[in-house]
Amino acid sequence: MPKTSNNLKQTADPVSPTSMIANGNTAIKWYGVALVVLILDQLSKQYFLKTLVEEGNSISVIEPILNWTLAYNRGAAFSLLANQGGWQKFFFAGLALLVSSFLIWYIRKVPRSAKLLSLALAMILGGAIGNLIDRMVYGHVIDFIHVHYANQWHYPVFNLADCGVVGGCMLMLFDMFVLEGKRNKHSEEVKPSKDTNSNANGAGQEK
């Protein structure tokens, strides 16, 4: 029987199939990122509660565009629905709890290679839990970052949790429109390589 090992030598896959393995237990490091966002958010809120004391008090930081201004938000991010009758407190608390639970589960399912997506979800998770704690403890969210222009134009006062949520959403969109296609192409290249090796192995066994 002629030797075929030299002609049908197996080659390593050009793309590692492990790149699409889910985070699983390694998701703990992304939960750590969420915890960092949460701690920074809560510490900053406690600091400005003690510094500014009463709602509406303000300290100029960079004239004429940035102040620290203590504000209580009873609505969603950036004061959405803040002027409703009070039902929104329970609605947004429940929504934040559902979103946080989903993110805790979903981060485990994200491919390990999708590090930017995992980071984005971790930032959103930390921000969501940060504002959820405020609603459960105080009945409102504590905001203090006040961007404006010469007191003529005012952006809704926000906090570090909002920064985590918005920043995470921006990273997630970048991953969706730029990186996800590359990952899918990456994984598709693995399949032909595997099929080629399987056919080669089969041919060798027949001989």
In a domain, 179, yes or no: yes
**Tens-place pLDDT, residues 51-74:** 999 999 999 999 999 999 999 988
In a domain, 17, yes or no: no
Number of domains comprising the chain: 1
- State which amino acid sits at residue 116: L
In a domain, 78, yes or no: yes
In a domain, 8, yes or no: no
Q: What pLDDT does residue 12 have? A: 40
Cα atoms in the Cβ-side hemisphere of radius 13 Å centred on 89: 15
DSSP character string of 71-88: EEE-SSGGGTTTTS-SHH
Task: State the residue range of the domain holding 169.
Answer: 24-53+72-139+158-190
In a domain, 67, yes or no: no
Instruction: Please give the positions annotated as active site.
Output: 143, 162
Q: What pLDDT does residue 181 have? A: 81
In a domain, 104, yes or no: yes
Between strands 141-149 and 66-73, the pairing is antiparallel
In a domain, 197, yes or no: no
- 193 and 16 Cβ atoms separated by less than 8 Å: no
In a domain, 81, yes or no: yes
Whole-model pTM: value is: 0.79
Give the pLDDT mean for 118-146.
95
